[in-house]
Structure 1
Amino acid sequence: MTVFIIPNTTKPRARTVTAQAVRILHSAGADVILAIGSDVKTLPGVRYLPQEQAFTECDVVITVGGDGTILHTAKDCLEYDKPILGINLGRMGFLATCEVNEMQAKLTRLAKGQFQCDKRMLLNAIVDDDVSHAQTALNDVVIYKGHRLQTIDFNIYCDAILVNHCSGDGVIISTPTGSTAYSLSAGGPILDAHIEGIVVSMICAHSLHQPSMVFAADRCIRIEVNAKGRNEIFISTDGEEESLLRDGGHVEVELSRQSIRLVTFSLADQFDAIDRKLRGR
């Protein structure tokens, strides 16, 4: 088993935890790779390779950080078709399912191949602005206003049928994986990650009753924006790739043909994380 570790060295404990992970993996018989320039001091027995070569040669990618580190790394894992396991140094960590105190047990099992891969659906967002371009999201696609105070008017279509007209600060279109992220904060439901569905939630809706909507994954969700020239409108995927969306522009969101593989050691990992991290048990 060859493991490529990607630490987020902006996290205070990342270097220490990376060194600890290397020792556990080595003792379990795994080969460990770090990228050249990864800002981690030379560790004994670790191969330092260019990032592209590391992705090519590894069997599994481990991130050391939080969910944001996984989301940032996921696109490379998608390109090279590698499964990913996150060691959680963040606050919540619904994607990073290995806590520091679980490393000995889980990394030993990983090195011995005693794990499963959980396929998670992705969304494609086609932004129809002056030039059309596509973005991919594991968690969510978010359309939101800039710093001014006025609300934005949105038309929401499902397969070209108008299903909602609303005003607010923005719209979140999330996957089941992302249902425990920003969507949850906006009042959206928690979906089983094995369900293929699309959740649409308003951000600070200017309405007394504006429930989230859940659509089948084979639907095409279209969001039309009318800011009336008063606001800058932005779109981002997974908290990255932020870009401006002109007034009158629209975004079409649909299921991607690709999926990402997350390493799991139990079919109940998602629900265990919800129980521990949301309910504090």
Structure 2
Amino acid sequence: MVTAGFILHGERDRAASITHDLATWLLQRGHDVRMPTDDAERLGLGEHGVPEDRFADGLDVAVSLGGDGTMLRTVELVADSGIPVIGINVGQLGYLTEVDPAGARMAIKRYLSGAYEIEERMLLAARIEGRESSEHVALNEAVIEKTPSGHTVRLAVSVDGEYFTTYAADGLIVATPTGSTAYSFSARGPIVAPMHRCLVLTPVSPHMLFDRTLVLDPHSTLHLEVVGHRPATVSADGRNLGTLHPGDALSCTASPRTARLVTFGEHDFLAILKTKFGLSDR
């Protein structure tokens, strides 16, 4: 018997109905299910709700029902425990979610029978160094950017302890290959195959002559220090982590842990790209 955890998009009714169906189906067969307390109560399954900080305890598999944002939240909750994640796409076509809603129950059946593979994706280890230090992991990216006041920020970048340059920009993105199709892509960064391992440093609207992305060794350590007199905000996978003041910094490198995504056959990244961008076969 397995313990399956569910994370669902809070504003999509279809995600709620599919979750209720899958959870009920598993419970009827003697398996255990859990989900964050608020979600469990909303589905009438309050006895299966747990606080998010206990979600991964003893879990065998996590099921994400939503889009890429829900997948990022799910990975964040289970990354430290190495728990595999099944992504069920409830919404627009995403890069991370593999299973269509119609195939949700079949995906669970295949997982239970062992008919699946694990695709390991690089995670970013991000450490805030400042008045309050903290450590985080991200599947897509860590970002330092200007505050809502709209002024550019100055960020001194070092690689493995060697000073590179100081950027004047709206922000800097440190992305994983998986994250190369997210915020970094919108800032004109390159598309990197998701199974590759590297650090992608992309400036956002740089106010300087050098405006190119750097693709660096994953084991390098990037050190981004706020200089000048303006503060900046820092986030990881869209989660706001607070404000960095002059002298504070963000350090990033590849995490020793990986995101473990459940796949049911080859994950055709190029086919997804063609679909999202309307590329023809001519």
Render the CA deviation track for 1:112-168: whole Å, top value 9, x for unaligned: 221111111111122221233222211110001112232222222211223333211
Q: What amino acid does structure 1 have at the position aligned with 2:233?
A: F
Other-structure match for 1:87: 88
Secondary structure, aligned partner of 2:274: helix
Q: What amino acid does structure 1 have at the position aligned with 2:215?
A: V
Superposition pairs of residues 125-274 of structure 1, within 5 angstroms: 125-207=126-208, 210-226=211-227, 228-229=228-229, 231-274=230-273
Query: Matched residues in 1 for 2:169 and 2:43: separation?
Result: 48
Relative to structure 1, the CA distance from residue 275 to residue 253 in structure 2 (aligned partners, 3 Å threshold; closer, same or farther) is same
Render the CA deviation track for 1:163-210: whole Å, top value 9, x for unaligned: 333211000001111111111111111111221100000111124551
Render the CA deviation track for 1:222-261: whole Å, top value 9, x for unaligned: 11222x32x4311111111421101132221111111121
Check the 8 A contact 1:218/1:255 in 2, yes or no: yes
Secondary structure, aligned partner of 2:157: strand
Superposition pairs of residues 33-72 of structure 1, within 5 angstroms: 33-35=33-35, 37=38, 38-42=40-44, 48=48, 50=50, 55-72=56-73
Check the 8 A contact 1:9/1:39 in 2, yes or no: no
Q: What amino acid does structure 1 have at the position aligned with 2:160?
A: D
Query: Matched residues in 2 for 1:80 and 1:125: separation?
Result: 18
TM-score (ref. length: structure 1) = 0.86
Any gaps of 5 or more consecutive residues in structure 2? none
Q: What amino acid does structure 2 have at the position aligned with 1:14?
A: A
Deviates more, 1:66-75 or 1:32-41: 32-41
Query: Matched residues in 2 for 1:54 and 1:163: separation?
Result: 41
Q: Determine what percentage of the aligned residue pairs are the same residue.
A: 27
Other-structure match for 2:278: 279
Q: What amino acid does structure 2 have at the position aligned with 1:111?
A: L
Q: What amino acid does structure 1 have at the position aligned with 2:276?
A: K
Superposition pairs of residues 95-106 of structure 1, within 5 angstroms: 95-103=96-104, 105-106=106-107
Render the CA deviation track for 1:13-41: whole Å, top value 9, x for unaligned: 221222344477689x6835133552343
Secondary structure, aligned partner of 2:80: helix
TM-score (ref. length: structure 2) = 0.85
CA RMSD of aligned residues (A): 2.7
